[in-house]
Amino acid sequence: MNKEFKKIIILHEYGEPSHYLALKYYAEINGLGLEYRSFNIAKVILLGIRKKRSAIILSAIADFFWMLKSIIYPAGARDILFVVGMAPFDKYVFLVRLITRYARLIYHTSWLYWDGGNVPKKGDCFPKLTKTSWCKFFEKCDAIATVTPDAEQNLVNNFYEVTGKTGTVFHSYDENIFYPCVNSETKNKLSVVFLGRLEKYKGIEDLISLARLNPELIFKVIGAGPEASKINNAAKQLKNIQFLGYIDDKKVIANILRGCVAILLPSKKIPGWEELFGISLIEAMACGCIPITSKHKGPATILTNTIFERFLIDEAQFVSYADSILKTLLLSPTQVEKLRQESSNIAEKYSARQISKKWLALINL
């Protein structure tokens, strides 16, 4: 790829800056500008209205006028590197191709299945036309960044257009915020944590069951969503559940994580979704939390061939097996400290500084 670009634009549907921490790090050390733009203006405006946040609405309006300018004068993007985050077979591929047709282009995805079956979007009314446009989009891409090796392999198996220009670029975390305690003491860390959306498919029932089975442990729950009322009700009955709600401040979250011995992720597969490469998991591990998770593709990518591979649990056995692990940890404070140290050591490879090197390798393809 020709590396002579002055700015990086991350073009996405909603935008999740935490997915691009390592790319931001790369831009900063190379003196490049970095912008976030959305291609789904209507959806972002509706999001801003629902959340009653005028800043989101104004940002979407600014993106609309930027998009108009980019369509009318696409040659103005010749010195820009676009990194596009877009769901498989999204119809907005037509618009993205217009905007980026003269620019350098990297597609970024975490999706695992590219055969057209198990996907969040299926091309709406014109699936064949949409897939054709995706093939042309892949031909135009200078490189494709996948979040896991499984995603990379599946994409290569289904689209010959990406051959020779793919690479795995894991999600990352900010090592200036997420780091372990210097001198941790297990006797003061009799807490475990759940961090994520409070949805049924996140295994909230299993989490509550484990709290009932382990009254000697404090279960801290961070997040928001439809199952929040269920957590609230459980917290009224079980004194060892602390419902902390949604927390926006990453530094506050990191402090909570450093006070917990383990993170629990009892996720359940549903059509079109399973736990992918979770940023919350590597953030918690960086703070010294021992990972206890469902055996989904994302956590498996992180934990396979490590000491924690045995803590990847089949969904049907999650409560019984996780309960056994927790009870064993409570009886082995010395072992807990060793496992916590090992967890933070494993997480180091996913720091923004380390993952920025993978972005560099892909840009240099």
Residue 183 above 80 pLDDT?
no
For 262-308, give the DSSP string. Answer: EEEE----BTTB---S-HHHHHHHHTTPEEEEE--HHHHHHHTTSGG
* CA-based nearest residue to 26, from 5, 43, 12: 5
Q: Which domains does the chain have, with CATH numbers?
A: 7-169 (3.40.50), 186-349 (3.40.50.2000)
Q: What is the pLDDT of residue 186?
A: 47
Q: Which residues contact 358 (CB under 8 A, 6 or more apart)?
A: 22, 167, 168, 169, 170
Q: What is the pLDDT of residue 118?
A: 64
Determine how many CB atoms are found less than 10 A away from the CB of residue 73.
10
Q: What is the pLDDT of residue 125?
A: 55
In whole angstroms, what is the distance from residue 131 CA to residue 124 CA?
11
At residue 146 the predicted structure's pLDDT band, cuts being 50, 70 and 90, is very high
Most confident of 49-53, 188-192, 252-256: 252-256
Q: What is the pLDDT of residue 187?
A: 47
Residue 133 above 80 pLDDT?
yes
Q: How many alpha carbons lie under 13 Å from residue 356 in its C-beta half-sphere?
A: 16
Distance of CA 271 to the CA centre of its chain: 19
In whole angstroms, what is the distance from residue 157 CA to residue 64 CA?
36
Output the CA–CA distances (angstroms, integers) from residue 2 to 103, 307, 325, 360, in the order listed. 11, 41, 51, 12
* CA-based nearest residue to 124, from 151, 148, 88, 156: 88
Q: Of all helices (H) and strands (E), which one includes residue 245? A: strand 241-245
Q: What is the pLDDT of residue 2?
A: 46
Q: Cβ distance 206 to 275 under 8 Å?
A: no
What are 151's two structure tokens?
């995603």
Q: pLDDT for 246-272, tens place per residue?
A: 999 999 999 999 999 999 999 999 887
Distance of CA 324 to the CA centre of its chain: 28
Q: pLDDT for 98-119, tens place per residue?
A: 999 999 999 999 888 888 776 6
Q: pLDDT for 315-356, tens place per residue?
A: 999 999 999 999 998 888 889 999 999 999 999 999 999 999
